[in-house]
């Protein structure tokens, strides 16, 4: 069996720092197969402040870890390519940092370097080439990584990129091996842990990569296993708040209700939030989830006219969004809507209508975005080629955005800014919103933060 050093390269701190769950899950799987694993988190190592001194601190602690661990393999978990904010340009691009990390590692050791994680899986060939790592695994790492290590140890020659296999519905997978010190680090900064209850997304949103990353079929972890994890997080690590990282929490497979029922059965007092789809969410289900600890909803509303919702392939209407919003308000559940302007079918007319519809979401928070990050494997990618926004040979490694040819982005951004002016609960541009949240954090606020904006409004 091998000694494996797992490194989480994610140093993004917005909207808040997130526990490196992918690394924890892979660590759990490696441990189960008998490997000796050390988890190292670059963000925690540099203590979450970005300055040149920390770059050095980071390098030194990486060096120390490699020396002490003396690994046979080093595996990098790559979460984000960029921050998907068109207004932040290359400032929001993370791969250069990852390449620096690879260069540092290369200067210290010659052991094989393996890359994985959601960012890697979106553009595997281009990222492997850019980082100059040895091997990459597309998708889920639990089975594929131990298998790859066994083969490499046995001297089997392998292609540089392999595809991870997907566990089946109902199997026990994604069991994280949480690292106590890292939990403390994230707990002190964001006040939240995270957990996955299922994988898979059956929806056909034109820009979204989730079905590409997780497949379309649901694969549920048994509700008892999920709640066992929560119980452990609470009892052993004092975790009181968490975020379910499922692509969409409320799906027709009903797993969100099964989890809620199990939480209630065990009387586990834990606060939780998740991503929701603003359709088919009736009051009865919302009430059940609220009783089980749901304290706020992040809603992938995405657009606020029926025409642009159709352009994004959302499969629900403005009336559905309004009904969901009303249901949340009636239960005093804070709701945040993510809304993206400038996508397919956006015109000056839909922009006006969409901004007017902000008023229907009064009492909630709106995160507005301008333009859509184009990623391979999506319908939007094909559309962008057809509309000659990109060509089939355009590299998408650096942030590349889709704007409807029927709208001028600058005029659109001014209109969104104006519609948000004087409303602290309408957050645009994203960077300004994040700065506001960073200030709140410096004053000791923890958690999602946007839910507290409503309280202050
Ligand atoms: C939930 C989520 C969030 C939540 C997180 C809440 C929380 N407390 O954790 C919130 C809303 C905060 C969020 C924010 C952001 N997110 Co987000 N998020 C997700 C989502 C839906 C799930 C991530 C997750 O935890 N999955 C569960 C874990 C277990 O899976 P995993 O990390 O993929 O790990 C598996 C594999 O990748 C692999 N693996 C992982 N590491 C390794 C390492 C090796 C060596 C190997 C072999 C394999 C391997 O094995 C693991 C187990 O199977 C993904 C999309 C998706 N469906 O995956 C986007 C996603 C990761 N986010 C993305 C982005 C961009 C962001 C933001 C930058 C957006 C923004 N501007 O705010 C921020 C960054 C936040 C930060 N500080 O890093 C992008 C990243 C791609 C990109 N464009 O760069 C994704 C892929 C969505 C997308 N647009 O396509 N996010």
Place of tokens 């000796």: 36
Q: What does the pLDDT average to over 293-322?
A: 98
265 CA → ligand 1 middle, Å: 30
| pLDDT score for 454 | 73
For residue 79, the CA-to-ligand 1 centroid distance in Å is 5
Q: What is the mean pLDDT of residues 415-438?
A: 90
Strands 426-427 and 372-373: unpaired
Residues of the chain within CATH 3.80.30.20 domain(s) are 191-456
For 369-412, the pLDDT digits (tens) are 999 999 999 999 999 999 999 999 999 999 999 999 999 999 99
- Three-state secondary structure call for residue 39: strand
| Cα dihedral 72/77/82/83 (nearest 10) | -150
Question: Cβ-count burial of 404 within 10 angstroms (0-12 exposed, 13-18 middle, 19+ buried)?
Answer: buried
Q: Whose CA is nearest to atom 14 of ligand 1?
A: 15
Contact in structure between 123 and 397 (CB atoms under 8 Å): yes
Mean pLDDT rounded to a whole number for the chain: 94
What distance in angstroms lies between residue 407's CA and the mean position of ligand 1's atoms? 30
For 178-189, the pLDDT digits (tens) are: 999 999 999 998
The ligand 1 atom at the shortest distance from the C-alpha of residue 208 is: 90
User: What number of CA atoms fall less than 13 Å from residue 251's CA on the CB side?
Assistant: 19
Give the integer Cα–Cα distance in Å for 329 and 271: 18
pLDDT tens profile 95-130: 999 999 999 999 999 999 999 999 999 999 999 999
Domain 191-456: CATH architecture, name and number where available: Alpha-Beta Horseshoe (3.80)
**What is the model's pLDDT at position 280?**
86
How does residue 56 score in pLDDT terms, banded at 50, 70 and 90? low
The pLDDT of residue 48 is 47
Tell me: the pLDDT tens digits for 2-53? Answer: 999 999 999 998 889 999 999 999 999 999 999 999 999 999 987 645 455 5
Distance CA 264, CA 227 (A): 10
Ligand 1 site, CB within 6 A: 10, 12, 14-15, 17-18, 21-23, 25-26, 75-77, 79-85, 114-119, 121-122, 137, 140-142, 145, 174, 192, 194, 196, 209-210, 213-214, 243, 245, 247, 373
Within the chain, all domains assigned CATH 3.40.50.280 are found at 3-163
Q: What is the pLDDT of residue 327?
A: 97
Residue 455: what pLDDT?
Answer: 65
d(CA 380, CA 21): 28
Mean pLDDT of 165-174: 83
Q: How big, in percent rounded to 5, are the helix, strand and coil portions of the chain?
A: 45, 15, 40
Angle between helices 95-108 and 52-69 (to 10 degrees): 40
Q: Quick one: how far is CA 237 from the chain centroid?
A: 23
More confident residue, 386 or 431: 386
The per-residue b/e assignment along 231-254, b for 16 or more CB within 10 angstroms, e otherwise, is eebbeeeebbbbbbbbbbbbbebe
CATH number of the domain located at residue range(s) 3-163 in this protein: 3.40.50.280
> Which of 245, 431, 437 to probe ligand 1 with, by most ligand atoms within 8 A of CB?
245
Pairing of strands 271-276, 426-427: unpaired
Q: What does pTM read for this prediction?
A: 0.96
| Per-residue pLDDT, 453 | 76
How far is the C-alpha of 293 from the C-alpha of 31, rounded, in Å?
Answer: 32
Partnered with residue 341 across adjacent β-strands are 370
Q: Beta-strand (E) ranges in 81-217?
A: 113-116, 135-138, 161-163, 193-195, 198-199
What pLDDT, in 10s, does the model give residues 121-166? 999 999 999 999 999 999 999 999 999 999 999 999 999 999 998 8
Ligand 1 nearest-atom number relative to CA 17: 77
80-91 pLDDT, tens digit each: 999 999 998 778
Picking from 244, 135, 134, the residue whose alpha carbon sits closest to that of residue 194 is: 244
Instruction: Tell me 164's DSSP state.
Output: P
The two three-digit tokens of residue 97, written as one number? 């940092």
- Write out the two tokens for 352: 């006006």
* C-alpha to C-alpha distances, 107 to 54, 72, 101, 112, 434, nearest whole angstrom: 19, 16, 10, 13, 35
Beta bridge partners of 275: 298
Higher-confidence residue of 50 and 452: namely: 452
Count of CB atoms situated within 10 Å of the CB of 43: 22
Q: Is 329 helix (H, G, I), strand (E, B) or coil?
A: helix
Longest dimension (CA), the chain: 64
Rounded distance, CA 232 to CA 186, Å?
17
The preferred substitution site among 40, 48, 79, 203 for testing ligand 1, maximizing ligand atoms within 8 Å of CB, is 79
**Residue 93 carries which DSSP code?**
B
Ligand 1: residue whose CA is nearest its atom 56: 210
Beta bridge partners of 411: none
DSSP tag of 82: B
pLDDT band at 169 (very low <50, low <70, confident <90, very high): confident
Residue 365 has pLDDT above 60, yes or no: yes
Least confident interval from 197-201, 303-307, 375-379, 428-432: 428-432
Whether the CB-CB separation of 226 and 292 falls below 8 Å is answered with no
The ligand 1 atom nearest the CA atom of 136: 47
More confident residue, 295 or 61: 295
Angstrom distance (rounded) from CA 154 to CA 328: 56
Q: From residue 40, give the alpha-carbon distance in Å to each of 46, 142, 176, 233, 437.
A: 11, 18, 15, 20, 27
Provide, rounded to the nearest whole percent, the portion of the chain with pLDDT above 90.
Answer: 84
């Amino acid at each position: 069996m091998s000694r494996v050093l797992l490194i989480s390269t994610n140093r993004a701190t917005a909207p808040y720092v997130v526990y490196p769950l992918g690394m924890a899950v892979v660590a759990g799987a490696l441990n189960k197969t008998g490997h000796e694993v050390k988890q190292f988190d670059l963000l925690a190592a540099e203590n979450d402040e970005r300055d040149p001194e920390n770059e050095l601190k980071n390098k030194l602690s990486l060096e120390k870890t490699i020396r002490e661990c003396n690994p046979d393999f080093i595996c990098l978990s790559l979460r984000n390519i960029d921050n998907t904010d068109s207004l932040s340009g290359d400032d929001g691009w993370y791969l250069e940092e990852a390449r620096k990390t690879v260069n540092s590692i290369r200067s210290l050791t010659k052991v094989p370097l393996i890359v994985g994680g959601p960012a890697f899986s979106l553009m595997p060939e281009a990222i492997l080439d850019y980082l100059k790592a040895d091997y990459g695994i597309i998708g889920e790492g639990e089975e594929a990584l131990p298998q790859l290590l066994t083969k490499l140890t046995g001297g089997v020659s392998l292609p540089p990129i392999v595809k991870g296999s997907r566990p089946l519905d109902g199997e026990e997978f994604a069991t994280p091996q949480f690292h106590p010190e890292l939990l403390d680090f994230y707990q002190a900064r964001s006040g939240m842990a995270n957990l996955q209850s299922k994988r898979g997304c059956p929806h056909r949103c034109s820009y979204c990569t989730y079905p590409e990353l997780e497949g379309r079929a649901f694969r549920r972890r048994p509700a008892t296993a999920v709640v066992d994890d929560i119980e452990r997080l609470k009892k052993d690590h004092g975790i009181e708040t968490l975020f379910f990282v499922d692509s969409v929490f409320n799906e027709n497979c009903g797993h969100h209700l099964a989890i809620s029922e199990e939480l209630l059965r065990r009387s586990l007092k834990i606060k939780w939030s998740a991503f929701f789809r603003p359709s088919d969410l009736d009051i009865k289900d919302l009430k059940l989830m609220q009783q089980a600890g749901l304290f706020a909803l992040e809603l992938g509303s995405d657009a606020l006219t029926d025409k642009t919702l159709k352009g994004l392939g959302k499969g629900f209407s403005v009336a559905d969004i309004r009904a969901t919003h009303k249901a949340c308000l009636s239960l005093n559940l804070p709701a945040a809507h993510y809304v993206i302007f400038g996508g397919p079918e956006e015109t000056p007319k839909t922009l006006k209508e969409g901004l007017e519809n902000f008023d229907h979401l009064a009492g909630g928070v709106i995160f507005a975005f301008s333009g859509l990050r184009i990623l391979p494997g999506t319908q939007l990618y094909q559309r962008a080629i057809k509309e000659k926004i990109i060509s089939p040979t355009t590299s998408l490694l650096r942030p590349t955005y889709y704007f409807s040819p029927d709208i001028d982005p600058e005029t659109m951004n001014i209109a969104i800014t104006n519609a948000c002016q004087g409303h602290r609960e309408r957050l645009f541009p994203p960077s300004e919103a994040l700065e506001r949240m960073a200030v709140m954090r410096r004053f000791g606020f923890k958690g999602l933060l946007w839910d507290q904006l409503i309280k202050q409004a």
